[in-house]
Amino acid sequence: MKYNFDELTERRHTNSVKWDECAQDDILPMWVADMDFRTAPAITEALKRRVEHGIFGYTLVPESYYEAVCSWFGRRHGWSIEREWIQYTSGVVPALSVIVKAMTEPGDQVIVQTPVYNCFFSSICNNQCEVVESPLKRTECNSGSEAFFTYEMDFDDLERKAANSRAKLLILCNPHNPAGRVWTAEELKRAGDICRRHGVVVVSDEIHCELVAQGHKYVPFASIDDDCLNNSITCNSPSKAFNTAGLQIANIICPNKAWRERIDRAININEVCDVNPFGVIALQAAYNEGEDWLSQLNAYIDENYRTLCRTLHDQLPQLPIARLEGTYLVWVDISGLNVSSDALTERLLNEGRVMVNSGTMYGRLDGEGYIRLNIACPRQRMAEGLERVLNILRTS
């Protein structure tokens, strides 16, 4: 079946965070990680059947839910998950917060690899822990006259940070938002070995794991070997790949029974132990019937990225673009414009009528000089957004 990702669905005035955060109707949003595509029809149909029942009380999570999770990761990613490792909760950010609460004491250090997803910082600080930044290393990977760049882990810096006796966790972003990296097994293994040597537990946020560009392969951190499995806790959800974030469902995968007990206690302390019936239904439909839709989605996002690169390199060749291996979030270097990220973001909003993310959200130092663009939308809408961005950048 061919799915129509070109369809323009009206989202304004639907209480959408992405579209209704700004009251003005002429703002085009290219910011928060939320797609403008209808979810897979299999999910919609499953939810319709559940709605027809007409009663929406507290829900039990059935065995078929756990079977769907285990089957998906086994057949798609070669990762054998045991049913008892799975703990459900309402989202990956709540999952990260309860893991920090469960695995640390106030004053402990938690390492993040910046620039990185902004909610990592709040999950750490809200639990009275110290954020320790281990900046990624930027490397150039130009293609002919087109300027691209990417990032690598700074293993020497990670070793130094992990060696601190107060360092307890590394929150890993795999695939990485906003750098666009899909970490290789070799990179993940090396980071895992560093953490294990120093008694630092790896907490791997893998919410973008299904959004991977052609030629790249997502590797679950815990699937690499027993050392990585036994020194890690993984957070995942179908919410990014299937555009179901509002249904609020996610999983914590933890093989260590003692850690699971601590996490379960933190889940209850934070009151994120109940999930809604629609999230449970949607996950099963996504993992049991959504694979073909997902394949077509990834191909569409790939073409959107190629279109963006051609447009920016043609119009503003002085602005390098991060190579997008995974996610649908494009990291653009605007340092050549000699304007701060925050100031440019404000100008794009107020004059260009397009909303993007300032790089400083992802690390004040490592994000300055960048903006992040969401390209998970119909190509016509993306083209309009890019034109608005270019109209401002040409005069910056």
Q: Is 84 helix (H, G, I), strand (E, B) or coil?
A: helix
Phi and psi (nearest 5°) for 131?
Answer: -80, 125
Residue 391 backbone class (left: φ over 0; alpha: ψ -120 to 50; beta: rest)? alpha
The mean pLDDT of 281-302, rounded to a whole number, is 98
Handedness of CA 138, 118, 312, 374 (dihedral sign): positive
Helices then strands, counting H and E runs in the chain, come out as 14, 15
Place of tokens 């009206």: 10
Longest Cα–Cα distance of the chain, Å, equals 60
Q: Is pLDDT above 80 for 341?
A: yes
Strands (E), 153-225: 167-173, 201-205
Q: What is the DSSP string of 239-299?
A: HHHHT-GGG--EEEE---HHHHHHHHHHHHHTT-----HHHHHHHHHHHHH-HHHHHHHHH
Structure tokens at 31: 């910011």
Q: Which pLDDT tens digit goes with each residue over 266-283?
A: 999 988 899 999 999 999
The model's confidence at residue 23, banded by pLDDT at 50, 70 and 90, is: confident
Residue 142: per-residue pLDDT? 76
CA 212 to chain centre: 11
- pLDDT tens-place string over residues 57-67: 999 999 999 99
Closest to 175 (Cα-Cα) out of 200, 210, 202 = 210
Distance CA 31, CA 238 (A): 20
pLDDT for 148-169, tens place per residue?
999 999 999 999 999 999 999 9
Q: Report how far residue 102's alpha carbon sits from residue 117's, in angstroms, rounded to the nearest whole number.
A: 21
| Nearest Cα residue to 331 out of 305, 350, 311 | 305
pTM here is 0.97
Residue closest to 151 by CA, chosen among 175, 123, 168, 129: 175
Q: What average pLDDT does this structure show over 214-229? A: 97
User: Taking the chain, what is the end-to-end CA distance rounded to the nearest angstrom?
Assistant: 45
Cα 213 to Cα 75, 149, 303, 325, 343, distances in angstroms = 19, 16, 10, 5, 31
